[in-house]
Amino acid sequence: MDIRLLRYLFIMVTTLAVVALPHASSHVVAANMPALHAYAVPTGFADASSAADPITGHTFIANDGQVIMADSASGIVLRRTSIGHGRQRVFVDSTRGRVLIYSDGGPGTASVSTIDAGTGLAIRTVNLNTAGMTGPMVLDQTTGRFFAGDWSPGNHDFVISVIDTWTGRLLRRMTAHEGAYSAFMIGDEASGRVLVLADDPASPSPADSYKLTVLDSSSGDILATQELQISSDAPYPPLFTIDSTAGHVLIAEQGGLAIRDIQDGTLLSTVNVQADLVLPDDAAGTIVAVQGNTLDLVDQSSGSLLQTVTLPPLSGNYGSYGEEPVAVDTQSGRIYALTQNDPGRLQLLVLDGSNGATIDSIDLRQPAGSGAVAVDATHQRLAIIAQPGDGQSPVFIDVDTGSDTVVAQAVTPCSAGGSAGVWQTTVDPTSGRFYCVDPGDDAASRAPAVYVWDLTSGQGFAPLTLSGVPQSAQVVGGYLLVPQDSTATIVGPDRRTPASSASRACCGAQYFPSAHHNLRGPFLIFWKRFGGVDTFGYPQTEPFVEDGRTVQYTDRFVLEMVNGRVQTAPLSRYLVTQRSFDAAYGPPFGPGVRYFPTTQHTLSGRFLAWWRTHQGGTLLGAPISEPLVEGNGDGSGRRYLLQWFEKGRLEYHPENAGTRYEMQLGLVGLQALRQRGWKS
């Protein structure tokens, strides 16, 4: 059977596929369920974009000309490919097994590269001849077209390049709007349309004038252009969304909420309502428009205003730090609004989506503040993260939407406040899991983490620590993919990894019962030749293939086979959290100092002495830092004078002064495994 048909069938199947409130407890770990793990992919990037393909089970991470293909179940790097340069964005066409990499490059060098999602091999790269300003982009998996928006070099013409996702060929490049300073683009696969909203500086009143351009998502032809007015006082970016079921495009225009035909942008009606948030309620046949604490219901078919409901103050502003106080159940048609009642406590209002009538009101018994709600219509559950405004800890609340009763609640650290990054709540309707992605808080010493609950039972899984500041996460193929500054973390069911315990191997292997791993063949020979346990510690994985190399982790080093020979591996390839240091001041340097021009750092004193007498050039490589005082991750909280190298770390331990353990190699191999989530 054709692989494209298999992909299409997979996507169709997965697509079709007031009571007394219990007291809030601390985070309860779910019983009798498989554990979840967070596997981070070592990339060596300072910044990254990522996306996953549910068909192949591959995750793709890209930045500055490097694209990594990793196994989504374990985080093992399968392939690393050089493509494009500059900041990159990743898009996956699961229907055709293609990955599209947009590279901003620079003026005139922006490009789109197409990669095979199964092999990770490059198919084609096309130069867009645009400014590389990373405009809006749309992927249409039904037609197999990728629309890349950008600006022409030297002017403000908004240009759209249309790419065929199967072949990677550039089908056409056209100027959609001349002189546009801002542009927004959305697509609708059901109608086969791509819509572009851009400002119109050529208009007599440019501050308020916009153009709506309607494109055919198969050919890229411009089908229609409509002029419209958006008040310069309106929120930016303007409200611009699609009601796919009704075949409408919704825009917050100067006269109110405009409802336009998605086929050609023709104005059908304008409703005199203002909206910061629009939610189509297909089950009720309405459009839910929210501004402040006013909720307007608009008939999807006629565009007429059905009802205006004034709510108590909403708990949070939509889109502010990820807060989403209003949600729609797409199966029942009900509207859920997190509000504040008269005693100053949070309450959940349940409204009829067809007429706005109040069906139920649930007192959540939490102080008024802010929060987010997310609906799992498949399992009839509503998840809430309530953030009281009186300094109390946030609370997770699980509501049964079938009976409007609270299933469970628990105190959680997951909060929208704190460090920069994306705070996000999302539901996986396949597994019935609710995720809260927390960027952490440096001031409160709270690390970035993912908190997960099973919505059927209301119990929580053990929190999963992240290696960096999280960006927008996505649920795909039973996993949660969390892009971060320098990596991507894959949250999902526990899987065997190369670090999982192994049994005793045969045929000349040496088994280490305390580590539950073997050394054999060239890895065992290299280990013995350069000092055994004193140098490397014990093996912490079995040999496995990653990034085209056979590798094996030990406590203090990562060993890799290159051209038939074993060597210690560069940390930049295997540490998830990359280290970078300022160059040494100088030269010239004084006597007893060795300068390494390749890394612009020095060695001296006891560090240089140890490096010279212990084959440091072979094992550690050149220094990448000067000596500094910091913790070494051993869990003791102690700080040591240490120095980082290309392939390892050297530490001074004054508690062992006068012994051969005064200078020790750091446990960077074990540290790398912990960063990846393969070791606890």
Q: What is the DSSP string of 529-555?
A: HTTHHHHH--B-S--EEETTEEEEEBS
Q: How far apart are CA 618 and CA 609, in angstroms?
A: 15
Residues 388 and 431 in one domain: yes
Q: Identify any residues that bridge with 188 across adjacent strands, giving them in sequence order.
A: 193
Place of tokens 């939509």: 318
Are the C-beta atoms of residues 424 and 472 closer than 8 Å to each other? yes
Residues 430 and 330 in one domain: yes
pLDDT digits (tens, 9 = 90+) for 196-208: 999 888 777 666 8
* Per-residue buried b or exposed e for 133-157, using 16+ beta carbons within 10 Å of the residue's own CB: ebbbbbbbbebbbbbbbbbbbeebb
Alpha helices for 489-529 (secondary structure H): 521-529
In-domain check, residue 671: no
Task: For residue 180, give both structure tokens.
Answer: 């546009």
List phi, psi (to 5°) of 132: 70, 40
Instruction: Report pLDDT for 30.
Output: 52
Residues 437 and 548 in one domain: no
In-domain check, residue 379: yes
Q: Identify any residues that bridge with 426 across adjacent strands, giving them in sequence order.
A: 435
Cβ burial of 378 (10 Å; 0-12, 13-18, 19+) is: middle
Domain boundary pick from 462, 494, 523 = 462
Are the C-beta atoms of residues 624 and 643 closer than 8 Å to each other? no
User: How many CA atoms lie less than 13 Å away from 399 in the CB half-sphere?
Assistant: 30
Q: What is the domain range of residue 599?
A: 593-665
Domain boundary pick from 462, 495, 530 = 462
Are the C-beta atoms of residues 41 and 77 closer than 8 Å to each other? yes
In-domain check, residue 439: yes
Residues 565 and 599 in one domain: no
Residues 607 and 529 in one domain: no
DSSP letters along 302-325, please? T--EEEEEEPSPBSS-TTSTT---
Residues 334 and 458 in one domain: yes
Instruction: Report pLDDT for 28.
Output: 52
Residues 449 and 316 in one domain: yes
Instruction: Report pLDDT for 132.
Output: 81
User: How many CA atoms lie less than 13 Å away from 305 in the CB half-sphere?
Assistant: 14
* pTM of the predicted protein model: 0.85
Which letter does DSSP use for residue 187 in this model?
Answer: E
Radius of gyration of the chain (CA): 28
What is the tally of structural domains in the chain? 3
Residues 318 and 451 in one domain: yes
Q: How far apart are CA 453 and CA 436, in angstroms?
A: 9
Residues of the chain with pLDDT under 70: 1-34, 46, 106, 205-207, 316-323, 416-422
Are the C-beta atoms of residues 109 and 177 closer than 8 Å to each other? no
13 membership: H or E segment, kind and range:
helix 3-16
Q: How far apart are CA 267 and CA 257, in angstroms?
A: 11
In-domain check, residue 162: no
Residues 359 and 325 in one domain: yes
Residues 516 and 452 in one domain: no
Q: How far apart are CA 220 and CA 437, in angstroms?
A: 37
Q: Identify any residues that bridge with 383 across adjacent strands, giving them in sequence order.
A: 374, 398
Q: How far apart are CA 37 and CA 17, in angstroms?
A: 25
Instruction: Report pLDDT for 210.
Output: 92
Instruction: Report pLDDT for 206.
Output: 60
Instruction: Report pLDDT for 306.
Output: 94
In-domain check, residue 661: yes
Q: How far apart are CA 570 and CA 672, in angstroms?
A: 12
Q: Is 280 helix (H, G, I), strand (E, B) or coil?
A: strand
In-domain check, residue 397: yes
Q: Is 203 helix (H, G, I), strand (E, B) or coil?
A: coil
Q: List, in order, residues 6 or more apart from 2 with CB less than 8 Å away.
A: none
Q: List, in order, residues 6 or more apart from 533 with CB less than 8 Å away.
A: none
In-domain check, residue 140: no
Residues 419 and 545 in one domain: no
Residues 419 and 375 in one domain: yes
